[in-house]
Amino acid sequence: MALTQSERDQITRYKIQIEGYRRDIENISKQKKQKSEHYASLIKSSKDSNAKRSYRQSKLSYDNDYKRNIESKKKDIERIKKYIANIKK
C-alpha cells in the first residue's frame, strides 16, 4: 500500500525529531565527559579526604543524571521509530 503525502510528511517530521534526539545525546555525552574531567581534577588536586569523598559523590550523581538523560532520549527515539513503523503498516 502506498503512503499518502501526509503520511510521508509525518514520517519526515519524525525523522527530523530522531536526528534532534541524536544531537541531544551527543551533547549530553560531551557535557558528561567535561563534567567528569572537571571532577577528576578536583579529586586529584584536593588534599582533604572529606572533600575528595564529596567530589566523588557529586561526580557519581552527575554521571547517573547524564545516563538517565541519555536513556530517556534513546527511549524517545525507539518510541518514534514505532510510530514510523505503524504508519508504514
Write out pLDDT tens, residues 55-86.
999 999 999 999 999 999 999 999 999 999 99
Query: 41 in a domain, yes or no?
Result: yes
What ranges make up the beta strands (E) of 1-89?
Answer: none
Q: What is the pTM of this model?
A: 0.83
Q: Which domain holds residue 38?
A: 10-88
* Cβ 64 vs Cβ 87: under 8 Å: no
Q: Distance between CA 54 and CA 56 in Å, rounded?
A: 5
DSSP state of 46: -
**What count of residues does the chain have?**
89
Domain count, the chain: 1
Q: Is the pLDDT of residue 1 over 80?
A: no
The pLDDT assigned to 2 comes to 83
Query: 4 in a domain, yes or no?
Result: no
